[in-house]
Amino acid sequence: MRFGDFIKEGKARKATPDRLMAESLIKNTFEDLKFLAQTKLTELSKRKLVSNYYESLRSLLEAISLLKGYKIYSHEAFTYFLKEKLNQDVLSLKFDRFRKIRNGLNYYGKSIRLNEAKDIIEELRRAINEIKRKFINE
């Protein structure tokens, strides 16, 4: 699969770059990240925290795609956007892994142990920080 396949399928499209929407997404995501950082990781919160950190990463990628002139409607397409449009092979693999973990938690009733959630959240934070450092001017 390639990013162009998602465009052909209507799961992504070329668009006029939208700086205002991207800036709004970035601002909201940074606020969400502050909230998440204050939320204690517990047995009860672990699933939602993993999902919400993933969503923050995806939201930053959506902002970047808007700046680059793409509107993406598929979470899977972000994997190929990272790889082909941003030249981030390692991050694309990590994102796809996070996507599958999140889908398992949200849609397939999968569970994770507390220590797994802690490790995944740390990995997500590192990926978010890498995206911020490389692509977002604060």
Architecture per CATH, 3-135: Up-down Bundle (1.20)
pTM score, whole prediction: 0.95
Nearest to 101 by CA among 84, 123, 134: 123
Q: Walk along the chain (138 residues) and give the pLDDT tens digit of each residue.
A: 999 999 999 999 999 999 999 999 999 999 999 999 999 999 999 999 999 999 999 999 999 999 999 999 999 999 999 999 999 999 999 999 999 999 999 999 999 999 999 999 999 999 999 999 999 975
Helix 114-135 × helix 46-67 angle, to 10°: 20
Domain ranges of the chain: 3-135
Angle, vertex CA 97, rays to CA 95 and CA 100, nearest 5: 110
